[in-house]
Amino acid sequence: MNTSHSHANGVAGPAKVKVEEEKEPVIDAGLRSLDHYKRALPKWRYDLRQRALPLVRWETPYLAWLQAVLRSPALDSYFAITANLGTHTFFMIGLPIMFWCGNGSFGKGIVHILATGVFFTGFVKDFFSLPRPLSPPLHRITMSGSAALEYGFPSTHSANAVSVAVYGILCLRYQDNPFQPSTKSALEALAYFYAISIIFGRLYCGMHGFIDVIVGSIMGAVLSLIEFYYGAAFDAYLQVNGWTSLCALLLIIIILIRVHPEPADDCPCFDDSVAFAGVMMGLEIGTWRFGRSSFADIPFDLYALGWLVVISRILFGVLVIFAWREVAKPSLLRGLPHLFRLMENSSLDLPRRFFVPASEYKNIPLKLRIDNVMPNVSDLPGLITAVRHPGRGRSVSVGPQSAADAYETLAYRERRRRESVDDGNGGLRSRGSVQDIRQQSLGQQQQQQQQQLQPSHQQQLRDESIAVSSSNSSSRQRPADFEKMMGEGTVVVSPVEITLGDKGEAAAADEEPDVYVGQQDELGEHEVFSKLVKPRVRYDVEVVTKLVVYAGIGWLAVEVIPVLYEVIPGLGAGHLRVA
C-alpha cells in the first residue's frame, strides 16, 4: 500500500472510492486537537485566540499562491540568506562594536528598540499562541531550524527590521546629522530596501502571514518613534536620579519577565525575551556607571587611532564577551540547581511550564545550548563556512514543524471533515483528487531517488524542480486550489488489482485505485506529531542563567571593555582627550 497526504474536500467521487467505517475511539480525536488550546489557555485568552485564528486560515491560500507564482532558486537563496539580517544573532554580534567605535548613543537607541521589540513580540506570541500559516500548502524556506518552532503572530523579524530602519531614517533626517545630502539619501534608500526586503521575505519564505508582518511592523515603528523622541530624556532622568530610578527600572524588567504569558506549546519565544531583557539590564547598569566615571569623556577618532588599533580593540572586545559566556554559563548551570532545590523545599520557587524543576534532575549537560541568540565558540567554524558558502544552509520543508503547526493541521482537518459530513458527502474524494495523489506519489518516488545522488546534483535538481513548478503554478493555479491542501489528512491508497480480460490483456490499466479517507483518530494525531522535531529538555535554571549571562554581556560591552582599553597599552584613546 502507498501512503500519501491530501485533504478531505467533501466532494463526491466515483464508485471505486470508499469511506472507511468510523471506529469508536475512547475520546473523539478531532476534539482532542481542538480542545488542546481550550485546556492550555485561560478562557479569556482562548476566546481571543479563536477570534484571531480565522485570519490566519483565511490568508494562507493567498500566501501559497503568491509563493508559487514567485518561486525561483535565486529568490529562495536570497530571502533565506537575508533573513539572517533581521535575527537577534545578527544584531547581538554587531551592536557592541558601536559602543567601542564612538557610536554609543546610537547603539544604545538600537539596543532599546530591539530589546523591547523582541520582548513584546515574544510576549504577544505566547499570549495568543497563534500558529504560522499552514504548511502545506506553503513551503517553509529557512536557514534557521529554531525559527519555525515559534508562533507566528506577530513577526519579530519585521519588528526588528522596521524599528532599525525607522530609527535610522529619523536620525538621518535630524538637523544635527553631519552627513552630506547625497549620503543621507543613499542611506535612507538602503534603510527602506532593507526593511521591505526582510518583510516581504517573511511572506515569500512561508514563515509569516500578512497580519503577522503588518502588526510586527507597526510595533517596530512605534517603538522607534518612542525611543527617538523620548529616549534621550529618559537616559538623562536615570543619570540625574541615581540608583533609585535605576533599581526601579531593573525591578520593572524583572516583573515583566515574571508576568510573561506562558504559551500553550513548547515555544522558545520566552527564551529570546529573557536574553534581551538581560541585555537591557546590563546596558542600563553599565551606561549609568560609565557615564559617571572619568572615562566617559574619552573620544574616539578612527584616523588618530589607526585601523590596526581599532581592529585590535574590536577583536579584544569580542574575545572578552565570548570568554565571559564560556565561563559564566557552565558555572551557573552547576551552581544554581542547588539553590533552586532549596527554594523548592521552602515553597519559594516559581515554576514555569515546559521547564523541568531542579528536584527532578541531578546534572545538566555542560554543552547545553541555552539559547539561539548568540553563537557558542564551537559554532564559529560553522558560521565561517556559512559565510563562505551561504547557499548550503538553505532548507525547504513542507508539513508541520512545531506543535502549534501540528495542532492547527489537526484542527483544520477536523473542521473540514465536519463540514463535509454536514454537507452529506461523507468526506468522499473526487477523481481529480486521486490524480493529485498519484502525482504526489510520483514526486515522493523521485525524491527518494534523488537522495541517492550527490548533494550538489540533488540541489541542482531541486532548484530546477522549483523553477518548473513556479512557472506552471503561475499559469494554472488559484488561491482556491491551495485552500484544498490546507490541513491535509492521511489518505491510504490501495494498489489497483490487475485482472486479465478475456484475451489475457491487462484490463485495469486505467482503473482508479481505492481511496480510504479514514477518520482522524488517535493514530492520526500520533502520525502528525511523529514528524516533529522533539524539543530538548529545558531546565528551570536556564532562565536565571540566561538573564545573568546576557546582563553580563551588556555590562561588559558598555563599561568594562571600554575601561580595559585604557588599561591595556596600545589600545587606549586617553591621549586624544582634550585638556
- The sign of the torsion formed by the CA atoms of 187, 191, 197, 200 equals negative
User: Measured between alpha carbons, how far is 362 from 10 in angstroms, rounded to an integer?
Assistant: 53
- The pLDDT assigned to 48 comes to 92
Residue 293 pLDDT: 82
- Interval 226-252 mean pLDDT: 89
Residue 211: which pLDDT band, with cuts at 50, 70 and 90? very high
Q: Mean pLDDT throughout 91-109?
A: 82
pLDDT of residue 423: 60
pLDDT tens profile 302-356: 888 888 988 999 999 989 998 998 899 889 988 899 898 888 888 777 778 888 8
Sequence-distant (≥ 6) Cβ neighbours of residue 386 within 8 angstroms = 143, 392, 393
Cell numbers 466532494 correspond to 11
pLDDT tens digits for range 389-443:
544 455 777 777 777 877 877 777 777 777 776 665 544 343 344 344 345 444 5
**254: Cβ contacts below 8 Å, ≥ 6 apart:** none
Most confident of 1-5, 265-269, 400-404, 483-487: 265-269
The reported pLDDT for the residue numbered 417 is 75
Specify the residue for cell string 474524494. 429
Q: Which of 7, 208, 338, 575 is catalytic?
A: 208
What count of other Cβ atoms lies within 10 Å of the Cβ of residue 226? 14
- Across residues 543-569, what is the average pLDDT? 90
Q: Which three cell numbers stand for residue 367?
A: 554543552
Q: Give the lowest-confidence range in 183-187, 237-241, 480-484, 538-542.
A: 480-484
Evaluate if residue 464 carries a pLDDT over 90.
Answer: no
Helices (H), 376-423: 380-388, 403-422
Q: Which of 2-11, 92-101, 529-538 has the lowest mean pLDDT?
A: 2-11
pLDDT of residue 457: 46
The pLDDT assigned to 144 comes to: 63
* Higher-confidence position of 288 and 399: 288
Tell me which residue has cell 536565571.
544
| CA–CA dist 10, 27 (Å, integer) | 24
Q: What angle do CA 16, 20, 21 make, to 5 degrees?
A: 130
pLDDT at 444 over 50: no
What is the distance between the alpha carbons of residues 494 and 238, in angstroms, rounded to a whole number? 72
Helix axes 88-100, 156-172, angle to 10 degrees: 30
**Residue 157 appears among annotated catalytic residues:** yes
What is the pTM for the complete model shown?
Answer: 0.75
Per-residue model confidence (pLDDT) at position 240 = 83
List CB contacts of 295: < 8 A, sequence separation 6 or more: 562, 563, 566
Residue 578 pLDDT exceeds 90: no
Give me the catalytic one of 157, 260, 526, 575: 157
Supply the pLDDT for residue 360. 87
Q: Give me the mean pLDDT over the 215-232 stretch.
A: 94
Higher pLDDT, 268 or 61: 61
Active site residue 208: yes
Q: How far is 490 from 517, CA to CA, in rounded Å?
A: 7
Which among 164, 61, 186 is positioned nearest to 106, based on CA atoms? 164
CA 452 to CA 245: how far, in whole Å?
64
Q: Average pLDDT, stretch 234-240?
A: 86
Question: If you average pLDDT over residues 497-505, what whole number do you get?
Answer: 38
pLDDT for the residue 292: 83
φ and ψ of 493, to 5 deg: -105, 120
Place 524 in a pLDDT band, splitting at 50, 70 and 90.
low
Q: Which of 5-19, 164-178, 391-405 has the highest mean pLDDT?
A: 164-178
* CA-to-CA separations, 498 to 4, 197, 495, 507, 514, in angstroms, rounded: 21, 54, 9, 7, 13
Q: How many residues are given for the chain? A: 579
Residue 271: left if φ>0, alpha if ψ -120 to 50, beta else—which one? alpha
